[in-house]
Amino acid sequence: MEASKVIHAIYTDDDVLMSAVKKVKAERHHIEEIYTPFPVHGLDKAMGLEPTRIAITAFIYGLIGLTVSVLMMNFIMIEDWPQNIGGKPSFSYIENMPAFVPIMFELTVFFAAHLMVITFYLRSRMWPFKNAENPDPRTTDDHFLMEIAIHGNEKELESLLAETGAVEINLVDKAH
Amino acid sequence: MYTFSNKLKTFSFILMILGALGVGYGFMTSHKSLDEVKTMLAEEATGHGGGHGEDASHAVSDSDHAQAEEAHEETSHGEETHAENAHHGDAHAEHVQHQLANRPWSALYVAAFFFMMIALGVLAFYAIQIASQAGWSPVLFRVMEGITAYLLPGALIVMAIAVGSHYLGHDSIFMWMNPDVINPESEHYDKLIDGKSSFLNLPWFIIRGLIFIAGWSAYRHFSRKFSIAQDTAEDQSNFKKSFRISAGFLVFFIYTESMMSWDWIMSVDPHWFSTLFGWYVFASMFVSGITVIALITIYLKSRNFLEFVNENHLHDVAKFMFAFSIFWTYLWFSQFMLIWYSNIPEEVTYFVTRFQDYKLPFLGMVVMNFVFPILMLMNADYKRIPWFVVMSGLVILFGHYIDIFNMIMPATVGDRWFIGIPEISSVLLFAGLFIFVVFTALTKAPLLVKGYPFRKESEEFHY
């Protein structure tokens, strides 16, 4: 596997980081990744990341949860062991539907929330026993790290990053 | 400063004149003689194979029959109940005659209440923004203050119609106002209403109403005064006073709003009661009020006012429209499901009449107030598109008008409902008045709260 060189610029303030990102993007450099100790509002837009599609998956998971609850209540309360609901022994799903609405609601939320979290973890390549990809432990405390790939333009990049207020600039060999 | 354009002013006057004509027509044509009513009923009976709406409550299955009968007595107007056999044809015709006469009163009342509750909902929203020191909304404060200007005239009109229905009509909206129902000698005597008469009597009803209106208007008056004073003030004292009275008002509001909903709406069915009714009406007024804030903001923006308002503010207002549509559905369903589940005759009669005679508006409103907003306003990007918010907002407003319609009409006109000239004209009349009052109030002060401490935060608010 080929080893590529990347540059790590470290910042100590999220506002400085934001303006740095804007400058670097304006110079048409590609930012590989940014590590921050907390979510920085608007950073995804400044980096030019695509909008998240997690909301679409959440909607689909909600629909799955709704379907599961409908089928489940139909099986449990109507087919498998018919129940007299609220003194109205009609044994019809549609006539007893109001009693099932809270369950439909809860399972919709349950499926949407849990599956969305699991999807998010998998998509972010985080699973149990996974080793941290974080290049510098200080980014879990109070430092911000911007990673940019180098294509023979290392001097130019270094001076640009120094201008943007980086407190530390390191050249790193990154094994793929 | 905003200037009330002549076009809009003319438009509001046209609405008021058209509305007044239609309301007048509604009152003129609503009084039918007993013979006319009988002829009409006979025609309906042949025309519809005898299966018209007023028989629907008898067409229930045997097991529910006794209960439906009882339910029917509960909802009837203290007059004779519908009798199934032909010997009581006269009584039935008289009942229908009264329902027809009630219709223009009820139509007027529904529309008056609907526009009043928009102003009241906005006032509560405004107080919450100040009391919570919200940072996103101050750029919209003057729009909210404009809308709440309608509260005092609107609430007085609602009271006037309620009281007028007793003195001018024959207790066309509130049957408990009829002195016969609490007179043990009368054939219309109603023991249950008599039991509630220490609360439900006309003088106490008027006094309560005036207390509510006085409290709301006092808050409106002082918060507006402090808001304008803060524009040129050097310190924050006006803001602090406004903050304090807003917190106080919210406490006063939640009690009086709840009692107002019993008095002005729930008492049209004086035998029926629901413990979360105040919340339910609150949800309706809150979402309608927020929707009107969005609509007026978009209108002003399209006329090149409010240059400091951008799509981030619109996004937040639309989020509230979305969230409170779901909140309304939650309360609507909570009220319905508990009553449906327990199936107690004295409670369930409310929904029996609505399912039998009001199926389309009753279920249609759930589609307009829940299904439609949840699908339309779920996407974040759509909440930032003005015309999209306008279209959704109009559907939500219509849905909540139907909500009030469903609260009042079944008790007053029974199955004789229709959205016709009296209803549409009443809406036009009060819409015209609402536009006139609100936009006149908007011209009275600059559209930006210059001295408000969170003004800058609001201007730079970013989603």
Q: Which residue of A has its CA nearest to B380?
A: A55
Q: Is the CB of A89 inside 8 Å of chain B's CB atoms?
A: no
- Which residues of chain A make contact with B341, given a CB cutoff of 8 A? 86, 98-99
B155-203 per-position pLDDT tens digit: 999 999 999 999 988 888 999 999 999 999 988 899 999 999 999 999 9
The answer to whether residues B219 and B127 touch, using CB atoms and an 8 Å cutoff, is yes
**What is d(CA B51, CA B38) in angstroms, rounded to the nearest whole number?**
16
B390-446 per-position pLDDT tens digit: 999 999 999 999 999 999 999 999 888 999 999 999 999 999 999 999 999 999 999
The answer to whether residues B23 and B108 touch, using CB atoms and an 8 Å cutoff, is yes
Query: CB distance A86–B343 less than 8 Å?
Result: yes
- Within 280-339 of B, beta carbons closer than 8 Å to A belong to 333, 336-337
∠ CA A5-A6-A10, nearest 5°, is: 150
Mean pLDDT of B221-238: 94
At B303 the three-state DSSP class reads: coil
Distances (CA, A) of B276 to A3, A11, A80, B407: 67, 54, 36, 14
pLDDT class of B62 with cuts at 50, 70, 90: very low
Task: Give the distance from residue A159's alpha carbon to the nearest chain B alpha carbon, in angstroms.
Answer: 32
- DSSP-derived secondary structure for B353-379: HHHHH-HHHHHHHHIIIIIHHHHHS-S
- Within 115-174 of A, beta carbons closer than 8 Å to B belong to none
Query: CB distance B343–A87 less than 8 Å?
Result: yes
Percent pLDDT > 90 in chain B is: 76
Residue A122, both tokens: 């998998």
Q: Which residue of B has its CA nearest to A105?
A: B330
Strand extents, DSSP E, A26-77: 31-35
Query: CB distance B341–A98 less than 8 Å?
Result: yes
Query: CB distance A86–B340 less than 8 Å?
Result: yes
Task: Give the distance from residue B333's alpha carbon to the nearest chain A alpha carbon, in angstroms.
Answer: 8
A127-172 per-position pLDDT tens digit: 889 888 888 899 999 999 999 988 878 888 888 888 898 999 988 8
Q: What is the overall mean pLDDT for chain B?
A: 89
Look at B52 and B396; give whichever has higher pLDDT.
B396
Q: Is the CB of B355 inside 8 Å of chain A's CB atoms?
A: no
pTM: 0.86
- Which residues of chain B make contact with A59, given a CB cutoff of 8 A? 378
Query: CB distance B343–A55 less than 8 Å?
Result: no
Q: Quote the pLDDT of residue B41.
A: 87
Q: Is the CB of A88 inside 8 Å of chain B's CB atoms?
A: yes
